[in-house]
Amino acid sequence: MANNNTPTSFKIRVIHRYLGFFLSGIMAVYALSGILMIFRETNFLKKEVVIEHKLEPNLTEGELSPKLRMGVKVEKKEGDVIYFKEGTYDQKTGIAVVKKKQLPFVLEKMEKLHKATTKSPVYFLNIFFGLSLLFFVFSAFWMYMPSMPVFKKGMYFAIGGIILTLALLFI
């Protein structure tokens, strides 16, 4: 950015460009993890992992759920073994075997980043990214003078995008 005589639209364009380059990596991660999250209720790309937990013996169904951090609904009980949808629990030994479907390590980390909450150490990154995307929205309207044909055509596209978004929200 040269001097104070530089038009605001030019300054906005420069910030827009370099912020876009800076955020290109995280935009790719959010795009991929967003697509992946569409399939989160399916087994797409997931593999089965068997986890063994050593718990206290003689736990009840109500005590088992919080210990395993999952909802346990008993399907049947044979002797000392409790069977539930995701695995088994041996009341005598305290061994719980749980079968889970998990994404590969990198994809799981990407999804976790996408779903970060205030309890996550990366939530500031999500706030920064969200604010940056809002800057992209508003700066797009500062890129060209309103009298230019490209600005007018861009307004039609913006209105079309708003209408499509509203339609998808209320379908």
Q: Maximum CA pair distance of the chain?
A: 84
Task: Name the domain count of the chain.
Answer: 2
pLDDT computed for residue 3 by the predictor:
62
Q: Does residue 2 belong to any structural domain of this protein?
A: no
Residue-wise pLDDT tens digits, 12-27: 889 999 999 999 998 9
pTM value surpassing 0.85: no
Q: Note whether 63 and 96 are same-domain residues.
A: yes
Q: Note whether 51 and 95 are same-domain residues.
A: yes
Residue-wise pLDDT tens digits, 56-107: 999 987 899 899 988 888 899 999 999 999 999 999 999 999 999 999 999 9
SS (H, E, C) the chain: CCCCCCCHHHHHHHHHHHHHHHHHHHHHHHHHHHHHHHCCCCCCCCEEEEEEEECCCCCCHHHHHHHHCCCCCEEEEECCEEEECCEEEECCCCEEEEEEEECCHHHHHHHHHHCCCCCCCCHHHHHHHHHHHHHHHHHHHHCCCCCCHHHHHHHHHHHHHHHHHHHHHCC
Task: Give the domain range for residue 74.
Answer: 47-102
Q: Note whether 109 and 95 are same-domain residues.
A: no
